[in-house]
Amino acid sequence: MFSLDGTVTVITGAASGIGAATARRLAAAGSDLVLGDHAADGHDMDAVVADVRALGRRVEVREVDVRDTESVEALVGVATQAFGRLDAVVANAAIARLHALAEMTEADWTQIIDIDLTGVWRTFRAAVGPMRKAGRGRLLATTSTVGVIESWVDHAHYSAAKAGVAGMVRTLATELGPSGITVNAIAPGIIQTPQTLDEVNSLGAAGIADVSQRQAVRRVGRPEDIAAGYHFLASDDASFVTGQVLVIDGGRTLQHG
């Protein structure tokens, strides 16, 4: 069930958190991988690569900055150049920064929108050509419950970007469906990742622990919980699922959204 044997997947933001867990999960299901790394983030891509190869899958790693069109197109191009096909992309790269509106500069706003929203658009746009040629494909993105369902004070730019991803997914699902391409997103709740552990720009460890005790499933969300959703959405079993934003939040927004 949900086999990905013979497929090739591109993942951005793959060195840590949800991206790293998704790489491991899809490799275990049979997919070869092209992984986007942003070395400035300081995460250990070598560990992800070692795990993927231990599972018997092929993997290529490229430095990528999703703010740069040429960089994104080069990353996605590796799939067809190295492996001869492209079946799915997971546009996962994103950042969060705390800025109250009154102090937010245009540079602050532009940085978040360019990475968290336009970066997804660049990744999808780069993948459409080979997917249309093949008559199949899965475009997948990480959005958030923030902006889609709930608010986050002092993160208006992040909320706007994540809401934009949801809107883009719904429209592209209609636009690209006739070409055999499905488009979906996952909206994680509070997941313990390096980003959410950031005590300055996000919740920090204490905040995550507090949230976990105030949601229906009384535990901390894990990157593997989101990776499981991507496994399904990337598979042939999800061929009739498109234009959806799958909320995976442990029931948090049932009570607090």
Task: Tell whether the model's pLDDT for residue 209 goes beyond 90.
Answer: no
pLDDT of residue 102: 97
Alpha helices in the chain (DSSP H): 17-28, 45-54, 69-78, 106-116, 118-134, 145-148, 156-176, 204-212, 223-234, 252-256
Alpha helices in 135-222 (DSSP H): 145-148, 156-176, 204-212
Mean pLDDT of the chain: 95
Task: Tell whether the model's pLDDT for residue 176 goes beyond 70.
Answer: yes
Domain boundaries, the chain: 8-256
Ramachandran quadrant class, 3 (left: phi over 0; alpha: psi -120 to 50; beta: rest): beta
Is-catalytic flag, 158?
A: yes
Query: With pLDDT > 70 as the criterion, what percentage of the chain qualifies?
Result: 99
Class of domain 8-256: alpha beta
- Provide the 8-state DSSP code for 191: B
Whole-number Å distance between alpha carbons of 190 and 256: 12
Q: What is the mean pLDDT of residues 52-61?
A: 98
Q: Indicate which residue of 45, 158, 229, 253 is catalytic.
A: 158
Task: Tell whether the model's pLDDT for residue 256 goes beyond 70.
Answer: no
- Do residues 194 and 161 make contact, with C-beta atoms less than 8 angstroms apart? no
pLDDT of residue 40: 76
Q: What is the mean pLDDT of residues 199-216?
A: 85
pTM score, whole prediction: 0.95
Give per-residue pLDDT as tens, 57-115.
999 999 999 999 999 999 999 999 999 999 999 999 999 999 999 999 999 999 999 99
CA-closest candidate to residue 122, choices 168, 174, 81: 168
Instruction: At 134, list the tokens.
Output: 């093949």
| pLDDT band with cut points at 50, 70 and 90 for residue 46 | very high
Instruction: At 123, list the tokens.
Output: 């990744």
